[in-house]
Amino acid sequence: MAAEARLSVSRLNGKTRLSRLYQEGAAKVRMPFTQGDHLEAILINTAGGLTGGDRIAWEVDVGADASCAVTTQASEKVYRALSGRAELSAKISVAAGGRIAWLPQETILFDRSAFSRQLYVNLAEGAEALVVEATVFGRLAMGERVMQGDFRDRWRITRDGRLVHAENFAIGPQVEAVLQRGSVGNGAAAFATVLLVSPDASGLLEAVRGLVGEKGGASAWTVGKSGKLLARLYDRDGYSLRKRLMPLVELLNGRAGLPKTWSL
């Protein structure tokens, strides 16, 4: 399976509106009605999940002074791979004064899955970004365990071509054994990374730490002219993680709040 979708939004008459949409294969985008001046886009993989050899690509372009929240219809599921690796890429650009909230629901990895995720965000001067990615290694309520697998995650966030955040994460093939280590997951099976690039980032640090609690942490820096807040959360399962992640996203996403598809 190979699929891609490209979405462009711009600000017109005081409201963010769709200016371009391209869809191919199983990648679909829907836009529900929203209050306020932002636009909400829901990404849908009509194939129902990913497995070895599948490729899906999302591209989002936010125009000057526009605001867009991007989420998914449901959790993305990555199934056992008989060969090859499933790949997901997201490329986001935000013009001056624009704002992107990249808020997909959790990615659920199954035993013996192989998955590579790449995220690229380029911000112009004065643009802001809220980026959230959560990953769950098997559904505890279903009795699922991820003993083996291969997961790789790569982020690159730039402002006007200058790198302001980068990270690489890789785990496998002995997934459960590594997650059991105290220095890695201490038995947790659900993890989330939350990044806010905004001049207001440092002012939210104490509130964020209160929501993250003891299972995770948060820090804030100034990188060049960018304020940056980074939080990491972990928990025993996806449900427990989401209960803490939802108020955090609501806080950091300001007036736009939680996407319509997010729920417990």
Nearest Cα residue to 80 out of 28, 169, 144 = 144
77 vs 259: CA distance, rounded Å: 19
Q: What is the pLDDT of residues 9-50, one digit of tens each?
A: 999 988 999 999 999 999 999 998 877 788 999 999 999 999
Residue-wise pLDDT tens digits, 137-156: 988 777 788 889 999 999 99
What six digits make up the tokens of 26?
Answer: 């199983």
Per-residue pLDDT, averaged over 103-128, amounts to: 96
Query: Before 259, cis peptide (omega within 30)?
Result: no
- Would the pTM of this model clear 0.85, i.e. be above it? yes
What is the average per-residue pLDDT within 203-210?
96
- The per-residue pLDDT for 142 is 77
Domain ranges of the chain: 2-256
Q: Does 264 score more than 70 pLDDT?
A: no
Cα distance between residue 152 and residue 133, in whole Å: 13
Joined together, the tokens standing for residue 27 give 């990648």
* Distance in angstroms (rounded) separating the CA atoms of residues 256 and 34: 9
